[in-house]
Amino acid sequence: MKKRKILYVAIMMATIISLPEQSNSQNLEVVGQAKITDMSTDNTANQIVVKQADGTLAVRDAASLLAVGTGNYGTVVNPITGKVWLDRNLGAAQVATSSTDAASYGDLFQWGRNADGHQIPTSGTTTTLASNYFTTSGLFVTTGTSNWLNNVETHMWSGNAAENNPCPSGFRIPTAAEWEQERLTWSTNDAAGAFGSPLKLPMAGYRDGSDGSPIDVGSSGGCWSSTVNGTSSRYLAFGSIFAAMGTSSRSYGFSVRCIKD
């Protein structure tokens, strides 16, 4: 089978398009978020060419699944720490213009999962635990347990080469120590400091791990780290009067902001 290339512009695809195995390319234009599954059985790493709204191109492998969040990610640098970050949350349409800019909220991931569709804030739910970490339903798992997976795995978001790393190439999920280092540079230890920082973090809220409902949207924010704590994981939490590192069950959905490796 020849490699097939799919060209699409900016990014909610409700239409399913099937390509014959002999096809070399297919053009499609969508608005919102595109999710493309490589259904071939030849183990060939087919490629997808993504054309962003500004005309830039990016090539992605589509060996199993690709989910490309809305928007053309840029980078920002914290001049104090020297760390380079994406300029918005994964899935966000734009850089935040305020702490409550809904277009900047982005996706809400369960810890350790890839971008399989579950992270979309309005995705459906399931009460069935995933049997493994790399093949999932694309639904937000709501079993009332502390995990979306039926066994404890801790490696899925560890480093750039992590199996389920949802970040663009060269980026990864930050550690708890990196988030704490970032927080200590804020002008105030609260949501105002989070937004006033180079990262312009918005209060995107989170999804409840027990039923998938949205919680505290516009009044608090949370960003996952790659750091585990027993059967839970660490995350950065902030609101109108606080900011601190916390620990959460992995079944909860929080924002993801990627750091350059």
What are the pLDDT digits (tens) for 16-27?
445 555 455 555
What predicted TM-score, i.e. pTM, was given to this entire model?
0.74
**2: buried, middle or exposed (CB in 10 Å: 19+, 13-18, 0-12)?**
exposed
Q: How far apart are CA 9 and CA 1, in angstroms?
A: 25
The domain limits of the chain are 5-68, 73-261
Q: How confident is the model at residue 58 (pLDDT cuts 50, 70, 90)?
A: very low
Closest CA relative to residue 256, chosen from 231, 232, 236, 233: 236
Residue found under tokens 């608005």: 31
Predicted pLDDT at 204? 99
CB 108 within 8 A of CB 255: yes
Predicted pLDDT at 190? 98
